[in-house]
Amino acid sequence: MNIHSLIQLLVVIEECKLAKNVVAELELVLRSYKFDFYGLLKQPRPNADPMTLMLAGRWPDKWPLTYVARKYLLVDPTIRYLGRAQRPFRWRDAMAALRSDPLRRRMEQMMTDARANGLIDGYIFPIHGRNGLLGSMTIGGNVVDLSPAEISLFDAVAKKAFWRLLELRDEAQSLEQTASIDVKLTKREMEVLNHLAEGMTSMEISRMLKISNHTVDWYMNSIQDKLDAKNRQHIVAIAFRSGLIP
């Protein structure tokens, strides 16, 4: 594998004048590293179609339909782990980190389906901005072991390609200017809010945090009052829109 191709790609991306050229150059290097599939994505929002979040990507033919039909966005371990990750990680690292998650069985089913579609292993590179997690690049297919230097360079490529594509679409400025609100939530309220945004029920949150269902509802009511929200769905919508959660 030619590490110099990654260094050169960082320069080439900056010089690209069209989005399709950025994608073509990125795919060329990914193929040289034997990564068959990839996605450069904006961070998911509630009720969003995952396919509308993709800036660029190539997936197995049947995988997008399976992913959407089975609502895997709600349990995708790589997406769930992204919320706490500050550095690149392998798909299997997310599963290991979430071994005690109440939704573990659904996660395992998703990964089984992914492997059946040729998505055996891969890496994810988080992309952060002033408002928190903004997106990510995932690359995978068959097992490919990257060196620490290659992981660092792919991380830089992910950020460069993400922002360059947004710039060419005139979306970069709006993404970084997400409105925020002046609301102070306690540490426990933030934990409950993040789990709610991941699609968990009060019962699942109570098991995760080892507190009673009644206590979870008490925190929910407090969050709803502070955000002036109408219901739990409105809580999540406000939190995402205001940047309280990435």
Kind and range of the H or E run holding 39 = strand 37-42
| CATH number for the domain that contains residue 226 | 1.10.10.10
Q: d(Cα 137, Cα 119) in Å, to the nearest integer?
A: 15
121 and 231 in a single domain? The answer is: no
| pTM exceeding the 0.85 threshold for the entire prediction | no
The alpha carbon dihedral of 224, 227, 231, 234 has a sign of: negative
Q: d(Cα 60, Cα 39) in Å, to the nearest integer?
A: 11
154 and 203 in a single domain? The answer is: no
172 and 139 in a single domain? The answer is: yes
Chain mean pLDDT for the chain: 88
List the domain range (segments joined by +) for residue 220. Answer: 187-242
Question: pLDDT, tens digit, for every residue of 135-160?
Answer: 899 999 999 999 999 999 999 999 99
Question: pLDDT, tens digit, for every residue of 87-138?
Answer: 999 999 999 998 888 889 999 999 999 999 999 999 999 998 766 678 899 9
What amino acid is encoded at 176 in this protein? E
Q: Would residue 181 count as lying in a domain?
A: no
